[in-house]
Structure 1
Amino acid sequence: MEKQTKDDGEINMHDEMRRAFALLSGKWKLEILWLLNQRIHRFGELRREITGITQHMLTAQLRELEADGLISRTVFAEVPPRVEYEITSKARGLGPTMEALTAWWQIHRDSVPPKRSVSSGRKAKTS
């Protein structure tokens, strides 16, 4: 990818890709988008399906994705209130990228060592 300067009137693709990566960066955003690409989810469903995410972090990530126009949030006036999250058409454009990542992972997953759990990496506490 060629880095172009702003002086020549062209778009600096390095800066533009940095902006694109920033939209998707974060430990949980891609997983949230992947789940919402499959179907509409309620908050509790997302929380159950994303192992290790806290309620606070899920809320923050959903708010950022909504602010960036990648997901939409629908609140239903019911008791108790129901909130659903859905991927937007803008984010649906990432579908081919998600499919390519899935295909890549199916080929290479066996060559990636399993991630150690936090508890297995800790030293035993001595008194």
Structure 2
Amino acid sequence: MTEPILRIRTREELIALARDLAAGDWHEPDEQEITATVHGVHFDTAGFWPLGDVTMVDGDTGVMAGIPDPRPTPGHAEIYVTLHHAGKPVAHVNLGSLFLWATSLCGHVSPDACRRDPDSGGQADG
């Protein structure tokens, strides 16, 4: 059985993945057999990722459910990164979210923005 591809929605989930993959501080990820591919065309964090016009994602677990997405969003595939470990895809993360977390602007947007699920309309996780 194929392992599900995680949908990273918070900074904490990305940190947990780094621990699971032994990526540490992401210095030299290739030495841990971690690679990445970038997909999409729309630089946004509205929640239509990965592949918003192709597949649904379980909102509770963040795992791709693999069923057609009925939302009328063709051509709105947001830019996201797929992380691969040892050649297998393990997680997707929205590029806009990575910029938010990397620039530490989280606290300037709201106190909980680093923990915010980009698909929740601004509501903090937890």
TM-score (ref. length: structure 2): 0.25
Which protein is richer in strand relative to its size? 2
Q: State TM-score, norm by structure 1.
A: 0.25
Larger radius of gyration: 1
